[in-house]
Structure 1
Amino acid sequence: MEFIELLKAFILGLVEGLTEFAPVSSTGHMILVDDMWLNSKEFLGQYTANTFKIVIQLGSILAVVIIFKDRFIDMLGLNRLFGKKDGQGHHGNHLRLTHVIVGLIPAGVLGLLFEDYIDEHLFSTETVLIGLLVGAFLMIAADIVSGKKKEPKVTTVDQITYKQALSIGLIQCLSLWPGFSRSGSTISGGVLLGLSHRAAADFTFIMAVPIMAGASLLSLIKNWEYFNMEALPFFIVGFISAFIFALISIRFFLKLIDKIRLMPFAIYRIVLVAAIYFLYF
């Protein structure tokens, strides 16, 4: 495999890693960057290129698992196995695995019911631009509402109720539209429900792991026949690139989200939509 093709794998991994958990839509950026510029389908073939995008998404998921490893160990009741002390579960409010499951149910059900329709009809530049724009307005609305409140009711992910988890899960259904952004919809929804930006972001990232891992693994199994050894270096470079840049971007995002909030990301999305519209349409 030529160097230029491996460079494309690195760039696609970089785009995936930087955008997967930022509220800007990684799916939208992958479609825009690949379809308008890199065009991996030319040398990989359409189905192998789609499989590649699934594999690098697993790299981003691995980054979240590492960052929140203590939280996952605690939720799964594996503290003793890993030689760690029990979390807050015996001493008041505590984020439990059941909170995450409740939040996953709505989008999980709709995703299974409409997967084929979404894949066939919603993965285009036009639909992505619509998702980016509408999602930006939701984020602006969330910041405006939160700005009118003195202090958020929920400042840590351990204070989330089952009702809030379900409500965030329902809002997450919006992210089934490519370009809308899973983190953009769920963080906005959480903020509108009274969570701080950081609490909403933490819950978003934790909730993303099982639904993204499950969806990615199912898609990988479904498309396994399109995985070939010739493309293995391309897959490895993309996976490592996505993992490294996701690790960097998530840590950076979590440190700043309570300070910068969602408005800068919303403005970026609107500017991006305008630029692409005038350049390509």
Structure 2
Amino acid sequence: MTELLTIILLGIVEGVTEFLPVSSTGHLILAGALLGFQGEGSGTFEIVIQLGAILAVIVLYWKRFWAVAVGLLGREGDAILFTRNILLAFLPSAVIGVFVYKGVKALLTSPSVGPLVVSIALIVGGIAILVIEKLVKEPEAHEVEAMTWKTALGIGIVQCLAMIPGVSRSGATIMGALSLGVDRKTAAEFSFFLAVPTMIAASGYDLLKSHASLGESGWLAIALGFVVSFVVAMLVIRWFMTIVTRHGFAPFAWYRIAIGGAALIWLLSI
């Protein structure tokens, strides 16, 4: 398979999975192993093309972000609470990420350990979603602005679990929010909004560390993957909200268990 087609396929995988609770990074690692796209540069590619999907959030929710920006200038209470909650949830991963960066990058680029960790994490995460869906209490917060600072910080702490490839950043934040009394729609939207500073910081930090080794071909691959993931994510986000509203998160849990089990069988057989 040509490298160009491989990059396009990986961009599609990223765009489809970034905001679903199924782990985009885990899918990129498994797809990379299947397509032979592995090595030092693959880790940076898998992290940075997520910015394309993040741009889709900014475009789709630009009115919300604009209203918050204007509200902050006018010192409006809702805008301040929205910003406070996003920043508090972002803080734990920003701090912890600096210390675990090397270990996470090693997992992302390991052709043997990385896919195995992802497979197990997909299965365990799927089971966790099913359990949380059953045990979740009646929601108390129906808007991002209505969340307490403790809830926002708690979600941020849970998000740190997603540093393990295969756990899923969106899955961790959404399940953390549900467990802390946030309704499904708000939990999903908060995960979208939180992705903006989280992935900008993660991608920026990785580029700062790895940009010298990318070369022209590496930058072109990232640019193409970025564009493809942006276009696909624009289509997926609205579909995801429809599924969540009607069916909850159980369909994604069963998918995780199925794909994780299939990947585990494949890895153990080669």
Contact 1:8–1:38 under 8 Å retained in 2? yes
CA distance in 1, matches of 2:116, 2:43: 19
CA distance in 1, matches of 2:82, 2:142: 16
Judged with a 3 Å threshold, the aligned counterparts in structure 2 of structure 1 residues 231 and 193 are, in CA distance, closer, same or farther, namely closer
CA distance in 1, matches of 2:66, 2:96: 29
Contact 2:71–2:79 under 8 Å retained in 1? no
Q: Are 1:176 and 2:163 matched, yes or no?
A: yes
Please state which structure has a larger fraction of its residues in helix.
2
**Structure 2 partner of 1:38:** 35
Where do 1:223-262 residues align within 5 Å?
A: 223-262=210-249
Moved more, 194-203 or 157-166: 157-166
Cα deviation digits, residues 118-174 of structure 1 (max 9, x gap)? 22257511111221122112211221023xx5x522222232111110111111121
**Which residue, out of 179, 193, 205, partners 1:206?**
193
Moved more, 98-107 or 117-126: 117-126
Q: CA deviation at 1:32?
A: 0.2
How many residues are treated as equivalent by the alignment?
264
Cα deviation digits, residues 177-234 of structure 1 (max 9, x gap)? 1100011111111111111111001111101110111110111122111233345543
**Which residue, out of 117, 120, 127, partners 2:103?**
117
Q: CA deviation at 1:261?
A: 1.0
**Which residue, out of 121, 125, 130, partners 1:135?**
125
| Runs of 4 or more above 4 Å deviation | 92-95
Cα deviation digits, residues 218-251 of structure 1 (max 9, x gap)? 1112211123334554333322111011111112
**Which residue, out of 95, 99, 102, partners 2:85?**
99
CA distance in 2, matches of 1:184, 1:219: 22
Gaps in structure 1 of 5+ consecutive residues: 81-85
**Structure 1 partner of 2:70:** 77
Tell me the amino acid that sits aligned with residue 6 of structure 1: L
Q: Say which SS state the counterpart of residue 223 (structure 1) adopts.
A: helix
**Structure 1 partner of 2:182:** 195
Q: Are 1:61 and 2:54 matched, yes or no?
A: yes
Q: Based on CA coordinates, which of the two structures has the bigger radius of gyration?
A: 1
CA distance in 1, matches of 2:28, 2:45: 11
Q: CA deviation at 1:51?
A: 3.0
Contact 1:94–1:159 under 8 Å retained in 2? no
